[in-house]
Amino acid sequence: MRNFEPEELDRIIEMAWEDRTTFEAIEYQFGLSEQEVMEVMRQSMKASSFKLWRKRVSGRKTKHGTTNPSNRFRAKCHK
């Protein structure tokens, strides 16, 4: 995994916390798979915060574009 600028890392974390931002959108913008996003979150957060985030996103349909039927908030470039 490449080294990110602090601003990029902050944006990745922000996008990962957002309910409507899919892992696919993060991959499209930053080239990180879902597993790599998890690793970034694990390294960037306290263990308790990471566990809370994982519990929150596990199984959440809105975090996965293929299972999310809503295109309402998606940019045209995120198909």
- The one-character DSSP state at 73 is T
Q: Which one-letter amino acid corresponds to residue 11? A: R
Specify whether the CB–CB gap between 34 and 23 falls below 8 A: yes
For the chain, what is the radius of gyration of the CA atoms? 12
**What's the pLDDT tens digit per position in 2-11?**
788 999 999 9
Which candidate, 18, 79, 23, places its Cα nearest to that of 10?
18
**What's the pLDDT tens digit per position in 25-63?**
999 999 999 999 999 999 999 999 999 999 988 877 777
- The one-character DSSP state at 3 is P
